[in-house]
Structure 1
Amino acid sequence: MIPLDASVFILGVVKNIDYNTKNVEKALYSLP
C-alpha cells in the first residue's frame, strides 16, 4: 500500500505531465 502522501504526489506529477503534454501539442499546432 502506497502512503497517502506518495499517491497524492504521484497523481500531481501525472496531472502535471498531462498538462505539459497538452501545452506542447498546442505549441506544435500553432507553428506555421
Structure 2
Amino acid sequence: MNRAAHLIRSILGYIQRYQDAGVNRQDLKMEQL
C-alpha cells in the first residue's frame, strides 16, 4: 500500500511540475511512451 501511495504521489508531482511549466498534455503523453 505504501508503495502504491508513493507511486501516485510521484506521478501527481510529475504532472504538476509539467503543468506549472506550461507543457501540453500531448507532450506529457509522448514522454510516457
Matched residue, 1:20: 16
Q: TM-score normalised to the size of structure 1?
A: 0.68
Unpaired segments of 5 or more residues in structure 1? 28-32
Corresponding residue pairs, total? 23
Unpaired segments of 5 or more residues in structure 2? 24-33
RCO comparison, higher one (Cα < 8 Å, 6+): 2
Match of 1:7 among 3, 6, 10: 3
Aligned Cα root-mean-square deviation (Å): 1.4
Q: TM-score normalised to the size of structure 2?
A: 0.66
Structure 1 runs of 4+ with >4 Å offset: none
Identity %: 4
